[in-house]
């Protein structure tokens, strides 16, 4: 069995960025689910995931051979309020693995116990929260959205107390990097310019080939986030908690808490029950992305140029590129969902979304209906509204409309109510509904026999009305 060779290279960065994470062994680690496809991609024998060695390592019961686990330090704006010292309060970085193509992936345990950043919390996680991250991150990966991945979920054999006692679990998250906007904020709050430069160069060396300057680094981070958020929104996805400690520099979706794919289209839809002011609503995501990147740019001012005034001009120049990049990426994807290859027809996107909002049309079923050639009149407020829209659509459609739509309109998404059902069953020890849903969302663009119910929008009584971070 090929076990991963894990090296703790983050420990080579200045000590201000991390703290040793003391192992907090769990009673009875047991594999709930392992990601064979991801393991193979990482050069790990999938059968290793079922070994006792994997159970001990991926539950946080023992260290990797080449370095002790670390808790990463970072700060963050949480719902707009700045906390200068957050960090991994229930997680630890095991280290990184070098893939066959020479790139690296970090292994990070969630739910592995208290660290010096726990701030009074127990440092643990529940089976339902970790399985939720597993299935949604895998659904995003299958849609082609840059994302952190999930290698395994280990049950701990212990109870975790939240609103009620629940079974505990540890998730192994795989990411290009766990460095966030908040990591740079942590250093900026301490006026540690030299470590800002060191951390920036670390990220450039690992994830930004061809980048040589701080300006290019900022430009790359901006471009990646603009395109990432455009992809989210083209699938009706709402992250839910776009705090600066939840925005990864390498450009992957990270930290799946109260996130979800929309059912009925509502531009102001919020999926975090604690987001009372709608800061992270669906239609606010582009501007929040820019707001977060502006915080990153502020941190980078000392390394952009010694002259602060000139550094601000550099930052402003790069930040001005964000919205055009977002709009171009979003418009291209939305036109493709409509089967239109004429990129000048952006007004039709707004027209379509307005009709969808008026009727609260199911986001995924509307576009799937178009792809299948179905009559979508039921998604409009009236027959007249549909007929006018349909006439315009038929004039704008490409000759390759069907091919475009099939590649951009999923049949299956990880619908919130289906995820909730699967997790409720898993809490009772039945993983069959979870695996069934996982099988569907891992092939989102391919219709499969026996999965018709997984396409359906929730009935009113099935809607999930409260979503929390799962901590």
Q: What is the pLDDT of residues 280-314, one digit of tens each?
A: 999 999 999 999 999 999 999 999 999 999 999 99
User: Could you give the CA distance from residue 438 to residue 430 in angstroms, rounded to a whole number?
Assistant: 14
Domain boundary among 175, 197, 218: 175
Domain of residue 27 covers 9-175
> Is 263 within a domain?
no
> Is 148 within a domain?
yes
> Is 292 within a domain?
no
Domain boundary among 408, 424, 459: 408
> Is 324 within a domain?
no
Q: What are phi and psi of 83, to 5 degrees?
A: -115, 115
> Is 127 within a domain?
yes
Closest CA to 181 of 76, 45, 33, 304: 76
Task: Place 467 in a pLDDT band, splitting at 50, 70 and 90.
Answer: low
- Strand (E) positions, 54-148? 70-72, 76-78, 81-83, 91-98, 104-110
> Is 379 within a domain?
yes
Cβ pair 338, 351 in contact under 8 A: no
Cβ pair 105, 42 in contact under 8 A: yes
Place of tokens 């390759």: 400
pLDDT in tens, 152-188: 999 999 999 888 889 999 999 999 999 999 999 999 9
> Per the residue annotation, which of 88, 245, 255, 275 is the catalytic one?
245
| Residue 245 known to be catalytic | yes
The H or E element spanning position 168 is strand 165-175
Q: What is the DSSP letter of 448?
A: -
Q: How far is CA 275 from CA 287, 329, 414, in A?
A: 16, 27, 22
> Is 319 within a domain?
no
Average pLDDT for the chain:
95
User: How many structural domains does the chain have?
Assistant: 2
pLDDT in tens, 106-130: 999 999 999 999 988 899 999 999 9
pLDDT in tens, 203-252: 999 999 999 999 999 999 999 999 999 999 999 999 999 999 999 999 99
Domain boundary among 146, 175, 204: 175
> Is 154 within a domain?
yes
Q: Whole-model pTM?
A: 0.96
């Amino acid at each position: 069995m090929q076990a991963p060779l894990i090296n703790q290279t983050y420990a080579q960065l200045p000590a201000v960025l991390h703290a040793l994470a003391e192992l907090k062994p769990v009673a009875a680690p047991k594999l709930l689910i392992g990601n064979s496809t991801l393991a193979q991609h990482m050069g790990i024998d999938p059968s290793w995931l079922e070994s006792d060695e994997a159970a001990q390592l991926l539950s946080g019961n023992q260290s990797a051979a080449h370095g002790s686990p670390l808790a990463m330090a970072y700060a963050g704006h949480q719902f707009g309020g700045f906390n200068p010292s957050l960090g991994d309060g229930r997680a630890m970085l095991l280290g990184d693995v070098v893939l066959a193509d020479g790139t690296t992936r970090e292994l990070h345990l969630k739910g592995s116990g208290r660290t010096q950043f726990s701030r009074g919390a127990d440092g643990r996680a529940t089976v339902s929260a970790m399985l939720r991250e597993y299935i949604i991150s895998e659904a995003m990966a299958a849609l082609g959205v840059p994302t952190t991945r999930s290698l395994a979920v280990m049950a701990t054999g212990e109870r975790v107390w939240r609103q009620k006692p629940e079974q505990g679990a540890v998730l192994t998250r795989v990411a290009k990097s766990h460095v966030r906007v908040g990591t740079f904020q942590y250093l900026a709050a301490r006026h540690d310019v030299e470590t800002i430069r060191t951390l920036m160069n670390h990220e450039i060396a690992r994830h930004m080939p061809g980048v040589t300057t701080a300006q290019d680094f900022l430009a790359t981070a901006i471009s990646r986030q603009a395109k990432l958020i455009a992809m989210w929104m083209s699938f009706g996805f709402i992250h839910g908690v776009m705090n600066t400690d939840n925005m990864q520099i390498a450009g992957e979706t990270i930290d799946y808490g109260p996130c979800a794919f929309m059912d009925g289209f509502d531009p102001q839809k919020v999926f975090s029950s604690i987001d009372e002011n709608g800061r992270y609503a669906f239609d606010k995501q582009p501007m929040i992305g820019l707001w977060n990147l502006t915080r990153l740019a502020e941190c980078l001012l000392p390394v952009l140029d010694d002259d602060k005034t000139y550094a601000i001009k550099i930052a402003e120049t790069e930040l001005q590129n964000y919205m055009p990049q977002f709009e171009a990426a979003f418009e291209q994807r939305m036109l493709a969902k409509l089967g239109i290859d004429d990129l000048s027809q952006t007004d039709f996107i707004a027209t379509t979304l307005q009709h969808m909002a008026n009727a609260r049309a199911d986001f995924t079923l509307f576009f799937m209906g178009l792809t299948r050639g179905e009559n979508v009149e039921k998604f409009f407020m009236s027959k007249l509204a549909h007929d006018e829209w349909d006439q315009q659509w038929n004039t704008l459609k490409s000759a390759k409309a069907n091919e475009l739509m099939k590649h951009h309109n999923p049949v299956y998404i990880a619908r919130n109510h289906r995820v909730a059902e699967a997790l409720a069953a898993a809490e009772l020890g039945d993983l069959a509904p979870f695996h069934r849903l996982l099988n569907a969302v891992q092939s989102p663009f391919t219709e499969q026999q026996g999965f018709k119910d997984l396409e359906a929008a929730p009935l009113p009584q099935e809607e999930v009305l409260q979503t929390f971070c799962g901590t």
